[in-house]
Amino acid sequence: MATPTLTGRQAPPTRPPASRPPSRLTDLVSLVRPHQWTKNLVVVPLGLLGAPRLDGAALGGAAAGIGVFTLASALIYLVNDVGDRDRDRRHPEKRHRPIAAGRIGLATAVSFAAALAVLLAGTVGLTVLTGTASLVDWWPVGAYVTLNAAYSKGLKHVPLLDVFIVALGFVLRLAQGCLASGNPVPSWLALCVFSLCLLLILGKRRHEMAVGGVLHRPALRGYTLGFLDQLLAFTAVLTAVSYVLHVRDSPVFGSHGPLVAVLTAPFALFGLARYLQLLVVDAGGGNPSRALFSDRMTVSNALLWSALLAGAWPLSHLGS
């Protein structure tokens, strides 16, 4: 209700202040997806599990792997945004991205990508020159960049290949962590990481199809909601089984592995079921990382699960 003035007239209604567009620096930072860097922070250190020793070299190698994979993934995100700018403009959410919205010009984006590529090559070269790592030690990063270059050039439009390639990128992160600690890639852990990431990516595709249709992503023409639901159920089962088998056989827990697998399996199953509930019932899943980290039930389950695993490790080594 307008406030009367001293003259008896009503003051004109006040207008809400217009929201300011993001600054140029904010737009440039958003192009490299800082909220997605948690993927590298979580997956690369998994390669240290079961390492014969956790010395400074192993920890330093894992830290370098996180940094290099962060640069590589940031470069891939930026290249994809440049290539998808026209399709993103037709998406209800992605049209607000800096390049699609026109706030960052194409020349600026390409220059930024070139700078990231130089920084990535320089970081890898520095580790080789200082003897911290050999060029062969960075093969997972090279495979990741090569695979995603092919993805950006056209494989992202091929149904099934589009999701399998993205999931494989997480296995390459795991392999990089294993190289840092000098231990082979655990087969069941690699399968668990692959199937879990495939589950999250399929959930993202399902959300995209339900919200924006197939126009903005040609690969979606090879899916239906029913087909995606079947794939989600299959990958959820595969994730649960491979998790139990990895914990059972993991050298981290020794002879107590089977008991730890049984005790922690309900937490794994609850986490998977909760994600499917958020995706199918609550129509979420557009950003899996944000959906999972902002859900109280998922976070609480993860904390209890982590506490149980952390407590089981020293108990399993008592008397050894």
- CATH number at 164 reads 1.10.357.140
Q: Are residues 174 and 204 in the same domain?
A: no
CB proximity list for 105: less than 8 A, separation 6 or greater? none
Where a domain ends, among 162, 184, 206?
184
Q: Are residues 33 and 175 in the same domain?
A: yes
Lowest mean pLDDT, pick from 8-17, 233-242, 296-305: 8-17
Q: Specify if 12 maps to a domain.
A: no
Cα three-residue angle 315-317-320, rounded to 5 degrees: 135
Residue 270 CA neighbour count, 13 Å, CB half? 14
Q: Specify if 9 maps to a domain.
A: no
Q: Are residues 57 and 201 in the same domain?
A: no
Q: Name the β-bridge partners of 10.
A: 4
Q: Are residues 87 and 190 in the same domain?
A: no
State the pTM of this model: 0.85
Domain range for residue 234?
Answer: 186-319
- List, for residues 80-101, the tens digit of each pLDDT value: 899 888 888 877 778 889 998 8
Where a domain ends, among 184, 204, 223?
184
For 239, the token pair is 């994730």
Which pLDDT score is estimated for 6? 44
Which pLDDT score is estimated for 168? 96
Q: Specify if 248 maps to a domain.
A: yes
Where a domain ends, among 129, 160, 184?
184
- How far apart are the C-alpha atoms of 118 and 121, rounded to whole Å? 5
* Residue located via tokens 């890898």: 124
Q: Are residues 180 and 213 in the same domain?
A: no
Q: Specify if 34 maps to a domain.
A: yes
* Residue type, position 23, single letter: S
